[in-house]
Structure 1
Amino acid sequence: MIKASVVVPVYNPGPYLQQCAESLLGQSLPPDEYEIVFVDDGSTDDSPAWLDALAAAHPRVRVHHQENSGWPGKPRNVGVELARGEYVQFVDQDDELAPEALERMYTLGSRNSADIVLGKVGGTMTGPSNVFAHTIASCTVADAPLIESLTPHKMFRRSFLLGNDIRFPEGRVRLEDQLFMARGYTRAKSVSIVGDYVCYLWIRRDDGGNNSGNALNLRAYYGNLREVMDAVVEGTEPGEVRDRLLRRFLRVEMMGRLREPRLNRYSEAYRNAGYKEVRKLALERFGSGPGGVVDGLAPIMRLRVTLLQRDRLDGLRELAQRCENVRAEVSVESAGWHDGAFRVGLRVGLVHTDGRPVVVTERAGRYHLDDELTAGLPTLPDGWDVGDPCEHVTGEVRAHHRETDTWWYASEPLRGSLEPLSHDGPQPRYQVVGTGEFTLDPDRLAGGAPLAGGRYELWVSAQILGLGRPLRITLDGRQRRDESVVPALVGNPARIVVPQRTLPVGQLTLRVDDRDQALAGAVASLGVGPLHVSGSHLKLSLPVRTGPGAGQHDVEVVVGRAGSAHTLPGRIVPAQSAVLALDDVPELPTGRHPLALRTDSSGRRPAAQIGVAVVREGRIVAVHGIGYRALPRRLLVRLTEGRRLRRRAYWLLGKLPEEQAELVKKAVRRVARWSPPTSR
């Protein structure tokens, strides 16, 4: 039985096709349970012959050659017709599937009778998407934000596509993917989402060949958007679900063109042409006043649409300029370990360029948007009523894995509240803020699965009053957080997780599995002790938290300097604060010796010093901390607290010759990473 057919439209792919094919041939699904259907759309390079040779060597590969159609739609449709699998997975010729993608997607989809299966997307051409925040066994477009993922690189039940006559438009049609997905989502009775494994890798080509950012034919583009919206209307009943789906196209494809930063950076001719087409479609579909679709927008977006309906491009441009000068600020209210998970409490608010908060003013029991955003805007003599200011406060905390460019999500949402501000007049003023406490469990954060090893940068994405901002989560170096932001030993088998404040911006990161000896640097900076000695056995307390049920972690301890050092097996043992345990310590020469730690079992990285061992009569009798050596780093932290100072430093670096600038950067990075002298 063929469980899945992978359909790949091909046209002059160059060297990228081979990488794609290798990823498809390397799937964990047994070879007799899937097939790969390449549809050559009249390629003029050597790919047709290469594909034929590939099919001759691999029975699960099939190739179909046809005249050039000029767009991926027809090759995909032909691929569906030729497919023999229960499910069809679409893949572009320059993208890849992760090794377990087909197996995981098919298993989840077939178990839940899914018509469509979404696999988490990663790679160099995609950003974060909370559609893939968690694995979902079964959902529909009515109860999940599926409409936010409109690319077709998904798995579809073949009988579902054929039975509902869901096909790609053929020929050169803009938004053909959105039309296909709108028809699919509104007809699907069950959709599954694989959120704990990156299935689809969307790769940016070196030549930019898969970047569709060319100038649009605006009239044709919005004509095609009409068809997409028609498909939504055709597939839904009047009401909240239909309004929410249509609202997405109003917010993104239409109003996204009429807001900052793009609106005021277009050429005048292009801006006017885009405005004309957007307004024409908006009036046609949503009328000239309030309605279910418009009313559900966040306050500032609803204000933009109102200005559009009233034909005030000048007002839209002024509002875009004012909103571009608004930024968001995040503060860490709490941080630390709790039951094996790192928890961080956040507060996010909007501020003007001078740091004053963006406010809402209460007038006769109603809340009005900050006058600095609305004063003087055409047709708004009485300001702008925002309704419930907290209704549209949303957001989430994200962990970005730099090595794989993958985003993972905490499960808790950001919630809105009003903070009263002091005022001189009779009208109370408030700042709308988003707050929340977020759990980052290294054993569950990857969509319910453990995080892979590496560095994870922490971000918060916030939407307040209709303005969205992604923000680095930064720790204030002036606040003492040594007692909470400490390393931890979690899980069994035990894993080391080290929270760090990276320079120069102070972003909070989690280093998982300690591949770069971050634990030793943290321990040295925070301090060690006390030491308990019993004969040849010793236990040294470490500033390392341990989660419930955590196992022990084997390490190496190096005592002495290079050339005369003793390397001893040790282990980090769970306790209220973890201890470094050494058994059968041999006799050592009397004196003071560097004591270094290596958690990287591969031996590729040297041990990093965490203290000084005092040896008398052959035995270690004390270990002194070396935290004072972190003083250069602490001074650097204080120096980089101010944004203006950081900008000035970058400006000065830019004035240096390239070679000297690199030397300065290298020295700063060495201090910023701070780890004590190393031993082999």
Structure 2
Amino acid sequence: MSTPDQGPQDQHEDAQAPGAPAVGAVEPDVTVVVPVYDAMPYLVELLDSLVAQDLAPERLQVVMVDDGSTDDGPQTLDRYAAEHPPIEVVHQENAGWPGPPRNHGLDLARGRYVFFADSDDRLGPEALRRMVEFADEHGSDIVLPKLVGLGGRGIGAPLAADNLVDVDPELVMPSLGPIKLFRRSMLLEHGIRFPEEKVRLEDGFVMAQAYYVARRISVLVDYDHYFVRLRDDGQNISMQALDPVGYSWSVGQVADRVRRHDPDPARADRVVSALFRRKCLKMYAPARFAAMPAERRQQWVENHQLVMARHVGDAMVADLGFPFRQRAELVRAGDVEGLLALGRLETDPGYETRATELGWSRRGGLRLVLETTGDDVPGDRLLLLRRRGGPDALRVPLRGPRDRVETTLPATVDLAEGTWDLSVEKAPAESAPKVRVRVDEATAVPDGRGRLEPYRTANGNLSLRAFGPPRRSLALVSPPRRPVPAAITRVAVTPGTLTVRCEVTTDDRTPGLQAQLEALCRDPAARVRPGTVLRRLDGGRWEVEATFEAGDFNSRRSGFFGLWLELTDTRGQVRLRLPSPEAPRTSTRVPGLRADLYTSSHGNLSLRCR
């Protein structure tokens, strides 16, 4: 083992090199690669979490690459390596960026899988085992774990509500960080490595290739796998100031790799458009852009013009919603003053809406009286309910005078579990700023009823909490239009299991399409959601497949289950009953299940559990 002031080349020639397997050594299941630079005291917490993994020591390899740390981290690493055999340490001269130490660790890796971690984070004790077992069971080349924030670190909305076995690269492209489980043979076969030079978005260079060469990408959300820290010393790389020239160049490099590796040009356009929106157009958020010096504003606009000239066409801009389409058009025109004016409009759209009366109708709906004031009150408006942390949205037209309108959210609307924020927007949707519905302290907010509880937020806005699973099989996550129609083409029954395959026809514009087959009955707790595989056939045609296992129904009470297909993309979500290929009332015993497969009187595929 090297000491803090030695490089690997200075060790005795007979010493065991880190990463070199001992005679008869078992190949580890997973190698964790960690670049380390001045990470104390957080480093100890990471090391403790690695030691606490519920994997046998011979199944785990940990390669800690000390990148010339100047704190007492090197001594801490050596102490842990001496006490815990899975931990191996190498010390190298400072490269100044995570890419080189990650590549060094990858060169030393022996595991079937590689997991990249950061030295100031930590893992849940079951994280590595769960990811490896899932990848082994489903043949996954990349597994995205569930991330949790530490120290006030913000984590974006989860990519899915349930584990996903096989997802399209478009869905996961927003996650460009390297905190994932990779099949090592895939990385080696395709020569996937991190840039050696100091560049921003270097993780995106890797992921923009890896996602497209992976045979299967999976998402896990059923466990808190990885805890991402916001350091109180401000030393997170992601917190450092961005250089307009270098950062914009890096966005272009990621876009180049997407177009190089994605065989579907239409999907590549959507992925690049979303990348441009997230990484470039965010710079024009009102407060952020207004606070910049004039020279820096001009630099961002000029460098984003270069990105647009190469990667973002007129049709891609036209598909963006407010305010991103307007920002992109102003960037293309080089109109800095126009961007500042747009920011003022976003901040103050010229009107405000207050809920002056709230109550429950006789039929159980939520009754709202909304009063709007201002110099620029739109005529055609929509009440928007959007679930926090996801794309789910419901829009209700507001009909009546501009200054005062009454509307009721019907009791039949069954919102998915979570917090829903209420806003007003100009019709058509996404054409103007959204205005949050305000609630004065003097306005009485009724107690909750059923699954819904209205409340006044700390900022004086109106929101709803929806508790527990929806009562009905159709949880409302209503986009402006149904994103995908579907039709079942075949049902295959195998001994002990029920395998369902259906073909999905889309509008050939399905950003981040996900699919989930499920069996639903009147008891929401008894629903069955098996692992579901989504495969693109051609154009807008997809095949969805899932297998219901014997244990899914044998332990459940008797009853009738309808088979549904849940489809989600970035525009919203829809659930569709699966029509049966058989004549009505035809019944088939499923071997190994306490269930009969039959066709309902409405021609839908159903199960009767005995």
- Tell me if TM exceeds 0.5: yes
Aligned residue number for residue 135 of structure 1 = 163
1:312 aligns with 2:356: no
* Correspondence for 1:415: 394
Tell me the TM-score normalized by structure 1. Answer: 0.55
DSSP-derived class of the 1:12 partner = coil
- Give yes or no for the alignment of 1:213 onto 2:213: no
1:486–1:240 Cα change, 3 Å: closer
Quick check: 2:146–2:158 contact (8 Å CA) kept in 1?
no
Secondary structure, counterpart of 1:298 in structure 2: coil
Is 1:10 aligned to 2:1, yes or no? no
Where does 1:590-605 land on structure 2 (aligned, <5 Å)? Answer: none
Counterpart in the other structure of 2:62? 36
1:7 is paired with a residue whose SS is strand
Q: 1:116 to 1:69 in 2, by over 3 A?
A: same
On the 8 A contact 1:458/1:472 being kept in 2, the answer is no
Structure 2 residue 318 is the aligned partner of structure 1 residue 295: yes
Are positions 1:167 and 2:200 aligned together?
Answer: no
How far, CA to CA, are the matches of 1:348 and 1:193 in structure 2? Answer: 42
* Equivalent residue, structure 1, for 2:216: 190
The equivalent residue for 1:58 is 84
1:213-238: per-residue Cα shift (whole Å, max 9, x none)? Answer: 33332212212222111111101135
Mapping for residues 213-252 of structure 1, pairs under 5 Å: 213-252=239-278
Distance (Å, rounded) in 1 between the aligned partners of 2:442 and 2:49: 45
Equivalent of 1:126 in 144, 154, 163: 154
Going from structure 1 to structure 2, the CA distance change for 1:395 and 1:483 (only over 3 Å counts) comes to closer
Partner of 1:484: 449
Aligned length in residues: 434
The reply to whether residue 178 of structure 1 matches residue 200 of structure 2 is: no
Q: Percent identity?
A: 30
Partners of 1:359 and 1:466 lie apart in 2 by 13
2:388/2:421 contact within 8 Å kept:
yes
After superposition, the C-alpha distances for 1:616-651 in whole angstroms (9 at most, x for unaligned) are xxxxxxxxxxxxxxxxxxxxxxxxxxxxxxxxxxxx
2:49 aligned with 1:23, yes or no? Answer: yes
> Could you tell me how far apart the structure 1 residues matched to 2:139 and 2:456 are?
46
1:157 deviates by: 0.9
C-alpha distance in structure 1 between counterparts of 2:147 and 2:289, whole Å: 30
1:97 and 2:123 aligned: yes
Confirm or deny that 1:78 pairs with 2:104. Answer: yes
Tell me the distance in 1 between the aligned counterparts of 2:96 and 2:424.
41
Aligned-pair CA distance for 1:262: 1.8
User: Where do 1:527-676 residues align within 5 Å?
Assistant: none
Q: Do 2:145 and 2:226's aligned partners in 1 also have CA atoms closer than 8 Å?
A: yes
Q: Distance between the aligned counterparts of 1:244 and 1:84, measured in 2?
A: 37
Which residue matches 1:396?
387
Q: Is the 8 A contact 1:474 1:508 kept in 2?
A: no
State the shift of 1:128 in Å.
3.3
Conservation of the 8 A alpha-carbon contact between 2:379 and 2:402: no
CA distance in 2, matches of 1:219, 1:549: 52
Three-state SS of the structure 2 residue aligned to 1:202 is: strand
Give the direction of change, closer, same or farther, for the CA distance of 1:128–1:334 in structure 2 (3 Å limit).
Answer: farther
How far apart are residue 87 of structure 1 and its match?
Answer: 1.2
Return the match for 1:322 from 345, 351, 365: 345
Cα distance in structure 2, aligned partners of 1:62 and 1:53: 11
TM-aligned CA deviation for residue 31 of structure 1 = 2.8
Give the Cα separation in 2 of the matches to 1:135 and 1:152.
19
The one-letter code of the counterpart of 1:297 is L
Q: 1:416 Cα shift?
A: 3.6
Name which of 203, 227, 235 aligns with 2:229: 203
**Residues 450-472 of structure 1 deviation map (CA, whole Å, 9 limit, x = unaligned):** xxxxxxx7657999516787979
| Aligned residues of 1:9 and 1:38 also touching (Cα < 8 A) | yes
Q: Distance in 1 between matches of 2:65 and 2:398?
A: 59
Tell me how far 1:418 sits from its aligned partner.
Answer: 4.0
Q: Evaluate the alpha carbon distance shift between residue 548 and residue 312 of structure 1 in structure 2; reply closer, same or farther with a 3 A threshold.
A: closer
**Contact in 2 for aligned 1:259/1:316 (Cα 8 Å):** no
Per the alignment, do residues 330 and 72 of structure 1 end up closer, same or farther by CA in structure 2, a change over 3 Å counting?
farther
Between 1 and 2, higher relative CO (CA 8 Å, sep ≥ 6) is seen in 2
**3-state SS, counterpart of residue 138 of structure 1:** coil
Task: Report the structure number with the largest CA radius of gyration.
Answer: 1
SS in 2 for 1:38: strand
Aligned residues: CA RMSD: 4.4
Report SS of the residue matched to 1:65: strand
Distance (whole Å) between structure 1 residues aligned to residue 257 and residue 273 of structure 2? 14
- Give the secondary structure class of the aligned counterpart of 1:45: coil
Distance 1:302 1:439, change over 3 A: closer
Change (3 A) 1:347 1:225: farther
* 311-320 vs 157-166, greater mean Cα deviation: 311-320
8 Å CA contact 1:416, 1:434 repeated in 2? no
Q: Give, in angstroms, the shift of residue 246 of structure 1.
A: 0.4
Structure 2: how far apart are the matches of 1:84 and 1:227? 30
Return the letter of the residue paired with 2:393: L
Deviations 1:74-118 (A, max 9, x none): 111111221111111111000011122112222222222111111
Amino acid at match of 2:387: E
Change (3 A) 1:462 1:232: farther
Provide closer, same or farther for how the CA distance between residues 437 and 106 of structure 1 changes in structure 2, counting only shifts above 3 A: farther
Is the CA contact 1:258–1:316 (under 8 Å) kept in the aligned structure 2?
Answer: yes
Q: Deviation of residue 126 (structure 1)?
A: 2.2
Structure 2: distance between partners of 1:434 and 1:276: 46
Secondary structure of the residue aligned to 2:200 is coil
- The C-alpha deviation readout for 1:39-83, integer Å capped at 9, x for no partner, is 111223322222122111111111122222111001111112211
Post-superposition CA distance 1:484-516 (Å, at most 9, x none)? 2699xxxxxxxxxx998787958666999xxxx
Partner secondary structure for residue 274 of structure 2: helix
- Counterparts in 2 of 1:225 and 1:33: CA distance versus 1, 3 Å: same
**Which amino acid in 1 is paired with 2:292?**
Y
Contact 2:142–2:183 (CA<8 Å) still a contact in 1?
yes
- Aligned partners of 1:55 and 1:62 also within 8 Å: yes
Q: Which position in structure 1 is the counterpart of 2:561? A: none
Distance of 2:446 and 2:334 partners within structure 1: 53
Unaligned runs of 5+ in 1: 337-342, 362-388, 399-408, 425-429, 446-456, 488-497, 513-546, 551-680
Matched residue type, 2:247: Y
TM-superposition CA deviations, 1:285-339 (whole Å, max 9, x none):
335xx22x22321154222222222332222221121111149879798999xxx
Seen in structure 2, the aligned counterparts of structure 1 residues 26 and 333 have a Cα distance that, compared at 3 Å, is: farther
Contact 2:388/2:420, CA 8 A, preserved across alignment: yes
Write the letter of the residue equivalent to 2:66: D
Deviation at residue 438 of structure 1 after TM alignment: 4.9
Aligned-partner SS, 1:130: coil
Provide the residue aligned with 2:301 in structure 1.
275
- Cα deviation, residue 32, structure 1: 2.6
Mark the CA change 1:154 to 1:473 in structure 2 (over 3 Å): closer, same or farther. farther
Asked whether the 8 Å contact 1:36–1:60 carries over to 2, the reply is yes
> Aligned with 2:222: secondary structure?
strand
Q: Is the 8 A contact 1:397 1:438 kept in 2?
A: no
